[in-house]
Amino acid sequence: MKAVLTIAGSDSGGGAGIQADLKTFSAHGVYGASVITAVTAQNTKGVYGIFEIEPSFVELQIKTVLEDIDIKAIKIGMLSNADIIQCVASTLKDKPSIPIVLDPVMVAKSKDILLKPEAIKVLIEYLLPITHLVTPNLYEASIIAEIEISTVSDMKKAAKIIKSMGTSNVLIKGGHLQGDAIDILYTGDEFVEFTSPRLSNIHTHGTGCTFSASIASNLARGFDLKRSISKSKEYITNAIKNAFPIGKGISPVNHLYNQSFV
């Protein structure tokens, strides 16, 4: 069994972050290890508190996992502050053989801020250059690229700007545009569009975490980047389609929709 590591925050409501990643890993038949960067008091209605882990302990978690387990891919999610970002980047910079999928989590579905503004520059300077793929949504891509995004053409322009910052590949998620859900991959050589019908289900908490964790899982399983994204696009579409209400707010996607239980 291939092993994948998630470096992210904990969602006490279970719909996003570490919890979503581990469920996604299990759904893909890979072994999940985890490094927690922050603990949130969170449910389907919002984020009520954030407790950040000391960077030195984040580093210890990463080193402890990597020295023992043969990790085939790494997914990075919520990092919360500049010191944690710099710590993660420094600890992983000497591991170029492990593909890193970075979901630059900046804001929760409830609109609560999850990445401090001063940390964005540090993410761009230190973390983007060591990532195999970065997966911003439109809001995140507009902040990183410093342009407004309202069309597919804007997405492609932003992808070029973000690619120039050092990352190997950029996948901008177009879920907030009108019409079909179009994601744009830019490799530096080509643009590739991944399209799926727009769904009416409002239960989409943890979509970004789940999608990036799925891509990391598929990379670990040996699929190339385009095939990994294609398979993950199908997975997240079905996870949204099969989501159901849990709690009183925006419920999570159904990570285990394709599993049978006795």
Convert the pLDDT of each residue in 207-224 to its tens digit: 999 999 999 999 999 999
Per-residue pLDDT band at 3 (split at 50, 70, 90)? very high
The pLDDT of residue 65 is above 60: yes
Query: Which 8-state DSSP code applies to residue 113?
Result: B
Per-residue pLDDT band at 48 (split at 50, 70, 90)? very high
Task: Tell me the residue type at 56.
Answer: S
Q: What would the DSSP string read from start to end of 117-185? A: HHHHHHIIIIIGGG-SEE--BHHHHHHHHTS---SHHHHHHHHHHHHTTT-S-EEEE-TTSSSSEEEEE
The pLDDT of residue 117 is above 90: no
Per-residue pLDDT band at 116 (split at 50, 70, 90)? confident
The pLDDT of residue 51 is above 70: yes
pLDDT at 77 (0 to 100): 97
pLDDT at 15 (0 to 100): 95
Interior/surface letters 77-94, b for 16+ CB within 10 angstroms, e for the rest: bbbbbbbbbbbbbebbee
pLDDT at 200 (0 to 100): 82
The pLDDT of residue 262 is above 60: no
The pLDDT of residue 199 is above 90: no
Convert the pLDDT of each residue in 222-241 to its tens digit: 999 999 999 999 999 999 99
pLDDT at 89 (0 to 100): 98
- Average pLDDT along the chain: 94
Backbone angles phi, psi at 258, to 5 degrees: -95, 10
Q: 33 has which bridge partners?
A: 5
What tokens appear for 154 in the block? 């804007």
Query: Which 8-state DSSP code applies to residue 209?
Result: H
> Cα separation of 193 and 186, whole Å?
9
Contact 231, 192 (CB under 8 A): no
First-last CA distance in the chain: 23
Convert the pLDDT of each residue in 7-18 to its tens digit: 999 999 999 999
pLDDT at 261 (0 to 100): 65
What tokens appear for 119 in the block? 């940390």
Burial class (CB within 10 angstroms; exposed 0-12, middle 13-18, buried 19+) of 245? exposed
Helix (H) or strand (E) segment spanning residue 100: strand 100-102
Convert the pLDDT of each residue in 125-181 to its tens digit: 999 999 999 999 999 999 999 999 999 999 999 999 999 999 999 999 987 677 788
pLDDT at 197 (0 to 100): 83
* CA 106 to each of CA 133, 138, 148, 205, 252: distance values in angstroms, whole numbers, following the listed order: 17, 11, 16, 14, 18
Determine the 3-state secondary structure of 196 from DSSP.
strand
Convert the pLDDT of each residue in 77-112 to its tens digit: 999 899 999 999 999 999 999 999 999 988 766 667
Active site residues per annotation? 173, 204, 206-209
Q: What would the DSSP string read from start to end of 17-55? A: HHHHHHHHHHHTT-EEEEEEEEEEEEETTEEEEEEEPPH
Q: Is the pTM of this model over 0.85?
A: yes
